Amino acid sequence: KAGVTQTPRYLIKTRGQQVTLSCSPISGHRSVSWYQQTPGQGLQFLFEYFSETQRNKGNFPGRFSGRQFSNSRSEMNVSTLELGDSALYLCASSLEGRGARTEAFFGQGTRLTVV
Amino acid sequence: SQKIEQNSEALNIQEGKTATLTCNYTNYSPAYLQWYRQDPGRGPVFLLLIRENEKEKRKERLKVTFDTTLKQSLFHITASQPADSATYLCALAGSQGNLIFGKGTKLSVKP
């Protein structure tokens, strides 16, 4: 069974630009969650998509957005990049995605550096 | 407000000893709690899930306890090895059902 695939692995962008990150979940998983990880804040929840609908959203500004396609693949977009957006962005897929009842499978992450 | 605290940012132990990591939470009533391992530059990897009605769960050299009265979970690695060196994260469901993670404890096992 293929794991969660995130592309690209590394990205360098300039302040003010926008970026799109991609996540392909494990086959059969309908829930995809996105997290931002920084040394100071740890893993912070961005949003969760389930069957193409955003089901939950964390406390991030509207510059952070996402979507999910009918094949469960998900993208997240960050517009007007700021230096503080530099982080490891992680995608996790799971069967249900709710209530911690099932394990989450994480991708390798996309390391975004904003200069 | 809801909080998850992993008491130690870092834990250093000698090979062969038992590592014990702590996860405390406040203002949650989780039905499930999970533990993950994360190596540098990689995504977390699921280790164990424990339900509120389970006091203890084991998997090979790993053991997790869940005390809903103390609002605490303990994670033990027995006969630790240098390969166990990593950051360990506890996670539980937030108010909206999504997984909320503690900041992790970095474990270093010295030979």
Cβ–Cβ of B30/A111 closer than 8 Å?
Answer: no
Give pLDDT, residue B84: 98
Burial annotation A46-76 (CB, 10 A radius, 16+ → b, else e)? bbbbbeeeebbebebeeebbbebeeebebbb
Q: Residue A87 corresponds to which tokens in the numbers above? A: 């982080």
Cβ-Cβ contacts under 8 Å, A42 against chain B: 89, 101-104
Name the DSSP class of B98: -
Residue among B46, B100, B104 minimizing CB distance to A45: B100
Q: Which of A43, A55, A101 sits opposite B101 (nearest CB)?
A: A43
Of the residues B2, B99, B103, the best mutation for testing chain A's interface (the one with the most A CB atoms within 10 Å of its CB) is B99
Predicted pLDDT of residue A95: 85
Do A48 and B98 make contact, defined as CB atoms within 8 angstroms?
A: yes
List, in order, residues 6 or more apart from B57 with CB less than 8 Å away: B48, B49, B50, B63, B64, B66
Biggest distance spanned by C-alpha atoms of chain A: 39
Q: Is B63 helix (H, G, I), strand (E, B) or coil?
A: strand
pLDDT of residue A104: 92
CB A39 within 8 A of CB B104: no
Assigned token pair, B55: 């006091």
Chain A interface test: which of B39, B98, B101, B105 (most A C-beta within 10 Å): B98
Q: What is the pLDDT of residue A1?
A: 67
pLDDT for A51-69, tens place per residue?
Answer: 999 988 999 999 999 999 9
Q: Give the pLDDT of residue A84.
A: 96
Per-residue pLDDT of chain B (111 residues; tens, 9 = 90+): 778 999 778 999 999 999 999 999 988 888 889 999 999 989 999 999 999 899 899 999 999 999 999 999 999 999 999 999 999 999 998 777 788 899 999 999 999
Q: Whose CA is closest to A35, among A4, A14, A13?
A: A4
Beta strands of chain B (E only): which ranges? 3-6, 10-14, 19-26, 32-38, 45-51, 56-59, 62-67, 72-77, 86-93, 99-101, 105-110
Closest CA to B100 of B111, B108, B89: B89
CA dihedral B24, B28, B34, B39 (to 10 degrees): -60
Q: Are B21 and B44 in contact (CB under 8 A)?
A: no
